[in-house]
Amino acid sequence: MSALAPVSQVAGDPAVHPAPPAPETQKRSWTAYLLLLPGVLWLGVFFILPLVQLASVSLQSRYPGFPGYYYRDVNFDNYVAALTDYAPHFARSFLYAGLATFLAFVIAYPLAYAMAFKAGRWRNLMMICVIAPFFTSFILRTFAWSQILADEGWVVGVLSFLNLLPGGSIINTPVAVVAGLTYNFLPFMVLPIYASLERADPRVIEAGGDLYANGFTTFRTVTLPMSMPGVLAGTLLTFIPAAGDFVNMELLGPQRGKMVGNVINDQFLAIPGGYPVAAALSFTLMAAILAMVFLYVRRFGTEELV
Amino acid sequence: MAGFREARGDLQLESVTKTFGDFTAVDDIDLHVPRGSFFALLGPSGCGKTTTLRMVAGLEQPTAGRVLIGDTDLTGSRPYERPVNTVFQSYALFPHLTIRDNVAFGPKRRKDKDAVKSAADALELVQMTQFAGRKPAQLSGGQQQRVALARALVNHPEVLLLDEPLGALDLKLRREMQVELKRIQTEVGLTFIHVTHDQEEAMTMADTVAVMNRGHIEQLGAPEELYDLPRTRFVANFLGQANTGVGTIKDVDGDHLVADVLGTPVKILKSRSQVHEGEVLFGVRPEKVTVSRKQPEGVGNDVKGTVRDVSFLGVATSYLVDMPSGTTWSCYEQNLDVEPLDLRPGDEVWLTWNPGHAFGVPVDAG
């Protein structure tokens, strides 16, 4: 820090660094604001306003005796209901999303590693295979999984034949939900890990070997830490949408023991007068995820990495 | 640790060849580097010098031949098994570790109990102690370079490999680091193998220089020797400047060969020519050529030319002179006389040189 002190003194001295001419600054800053405008407008109309609206809805009260009608209020009962009645749903959401994130990581890392270092001319083909599922719709792919995991499907057939499936069924169980989540968010795990591995200087990894680290030690002490920004991004990109997802539970999961996304969906669309609780649930979910992400990034944050 | 091989002594490459597909990067080279010497591998990019270095490090395996340190054959062993460390061209510091942990990385892998202490000593040696807590991205190129050096030196390798370590530095810093590297090498007494394409760098630092071209070692020797008496056309042109001309050997006059260059007889010492009959490429270094207005008497080798350009450099004046053969010679005259020559482009001059300073190499090679 002491080395920086003289520099900041110089920078603060107007005689050394005279302010640039005013018109120039004016012009530049206007350009910057103009460039920001579309994004700011978009976020304002489609993110900030709905969020404010949702916050206000989450505090409304119902008209007694008129299901579906509510009035503006500051009513925290909706939050109490969200947290007491639906605590198990939150727990399930985070558990399934956490499991899916872990499984996706276990599958994605070797895949990304192979793509970055071993694939050679197959690299582009592998990349296409990772991205290809995006060419069909999310719902359709999840629906396909309900076929794959169906009781009549070959997966259940093979597992039953090998006596590995005591329950006799995969579809409509949490296992199917976690499998669906893992599958659907896998590319979001693969791509950032691949990007960070691909960017790593091969000489740095060679330096590990040159400094007496064998293959595994080099991986543990050099390659893996260098890819942590990608791992961090991948786990966030998988966990956040997975925790709020309801499609996989809807199409692959059991009738009872839903995730919080399903509850929000039902409260908004199926239950008359469910809007305030749905809004409160949404906010609680958002706050919980934000808190978890904050702690996670604080713990594993790698902003100092290049 | 498991697999690590202690080895002491001179580094030896025996008939080492490395091919990549159809391309032969290193073609059957033999090299002997005495323990404790500062050895430079000099050559243009693509000449095989870095591949040679990587084979010593174990980062590449030779297609044929052996790599030994002392009596220990290291061919086929992994990089982490060799008592050899590398300073990479791009430094290749671990971006996620502090400077201290970067330097302590090697000692820790070797289960050195005093890893942190050794790292501190190595940082002291390269004068980087005050930066120990920083990350590599917070350092300048020159500072990263020092850290890379400390990270390799801390292990006291039998051979230290430097792969164009100064390539990314600006000229002033490069000069400083050349002196610094030489100091450190003298201090630690390890074998340094320095790969570079910069002939000045190789000549200032190394005890022995091997000039490489197209996978071969063209010539090996002390810098003075290589400069004074190149054995191939490539070495003559790559190492410093050389004024050259092609002639045919017509006669022998005592210790001298007499070559006919476009009707002008040119003398070369027999002992300084690689060819003794037929066509010869003779050469003279720019500072060995004397420029005069009148034809000097009795020197022997003299050619008349036309001045193309004059640059006054202070301590010296450099002339470009168009020769009758169509080539342009460069001459470098120290400004010793009070009366300057006062030559202008277009003036006719006589160039002379002592036959003992000329050298002869085969025309075709290089």
Question: Model confidence over B267-307: pLDDT tens digits?
Answer: 899 899 998 888 999 999 999 998 888 887 766 688 889 99
| Neighbouring C-beta atoms of residue A138, cutoff 10 Å | 13
* A250-287 CB burial, b ≥16 within 10 A, e <16: bbbbeeeebbbbbbbbebeeeeeebbbbbbbbbbbbee
**Chain B residues within 8 angstroms (CB to CB) of chain A:** 1, 3-4, 57-59, 78-80, 84-86, 88-90, 92-97, 105-106, 109-110, 130, 135, 137, 151-152, 155
The span from the CA of B326 to the CA of B323, in Å, is 5
A155 φ/ψ sector (left φ>0, alpha ψ -120 to 50, else beta): alpha
pLDDT band at A303 (very low <50, low <70, confident <90, very high): low
Distance from CA of A185 to the nearest CA of B (A): 28
Q: In this model, does residue B343 exceed pLDDT 80?
A: yes
Nearest to A304 among B94, B135, B155 (CB): B135
Determine the 3-state secondary structure of B94 from DSSP. coil
pLDDT band at A27 (very low <50, low <70, confident <90, very high): low
Which of A61-65, A111-115, A165-169 has the highest average model confidence (pLDDT)? A111-115
Kindly determine whether residue A222 and residue B94, on different chains, have CB atoms separated by under 8 Å.
yes
Task: Identify the CATH assignment for B238-361 out of 2.40.50.140, 1.10.3720.10, 3.30.230.10, 2.20.25.650.
Answer: 2.40.50.140
Kindly determine whether residue B78 and residue A214, on different chains, have CB atoms separated by under 8 Å.
yes
Specify the residue for token string 């110089």: A10
Q: pTM for this structure? A: 0.81
Distance from CA of B136 to the nearest CA of A (A): 9
A187-193 mean pLDDT: 96
CB pairs under 8 A between A and B: 75
Q: What is the mean pLDDT of chain B?
A: 90
Task: Identify the CATH assignment for B11-228 out of 3.40.50.300, 3.40.50.2300, 2.30.30.190, 3.30.2270.10.
Answer: 3.40.50.300
Domain boundaries for CATH 3.40.50.300 within chain B: 11-228
pLDDT band at A23 (very low <50, low <70, confident <90, very high): low
Enumerate the domain spans of chain A. Answer: 87-300
Query: Please, what is the end-to-end C-alpha distance for chain A in angstroms?
Result: 20
Yes or no: say if A55 and A279 are a contact pair by the CB < 8 Å rule: yes
Note the pLDDT of residue B299. 63
pLDDT in tens, B224-274: 999 999 999 999 989 888 898 898 998 888 888 988 888 788 889 989 999
Mutate to test the interface with B, among A210, A218, A219, A222 (most CBs of B within 10 A): A210
CA dihedral A8, A11, A12, A14 (to 10 degrees): 160
Q: In this model, does residue A10 exceed pLDDT 50?
A: no
In the stretch 232-271 of chain A, residues with CB closer than 8 A to chain B read none
Q: Which residues of B touch A306 (CB under 8 A)?
A: 95, 137
Fold of A87-300: MetI-like fold (1.10.3720)
Percent of chain B at pLDDT exceeding 70: 97
Note the pLDDT of residue A194. 96
Distances (CA, A) of A102 to A9, A176, A178, A197, B202: 49, 15, 10, 19, 53
Closest chain B residue by Cα to residue A217: B109
Maximum distance among all Cα pairs of chain B, rounded to whole angstroms: 75
Mutate to test the interface with A, among B56, B60, B94, B161 (most CBs of A within 10 A): B94
Q: In this model, does residue B338 exceed pLDDT 70?
A: no
Cα B245 to the chain's mean position, in Å? 24
Q: In this model, does residue A15 exceed pLDDT 80?
A: no
Q: Rounded to 5 degrees, what angle do the CA atoms A196, A198, A203 make?
A: 105
Nearest to B79 among A201, A210, A225 (CB): A210
Q: Which residues of B touch A204 (CB under 8 A)?
A: 92-95
pLDDT in tens, B148-162: 999 999 999 999 999
Note the pLDDT of residue B303. 86
Q: In this model, does residue A122 exceed pLDDT 50?
A: yes
pLDDT band at B331 (very low <50, low <70, confident <90, very high): very high
Query: Please, what is the end-to-end C-alpha distance for chain B in angstroms?
Result: 46
Q: What are phi and psi of A272, to 5 degrees?
A: -65, 135
Token pair belonging to A302? 């790698």
Task: State whether residue A217 sits within 8 Å of chain B by CB.
Answer: yes
The span from the CA of B341 to the CA of A273, in Å, is 105
Domain boundaries for CATH 2.40.50.140 within chain B: 238-361
Q: What are phi and psi of B60, to 5 degrees?
A: -130, 150
Yes or no: say if B286 and B243 are a contact pair by the CB < 8 Å rule: yes
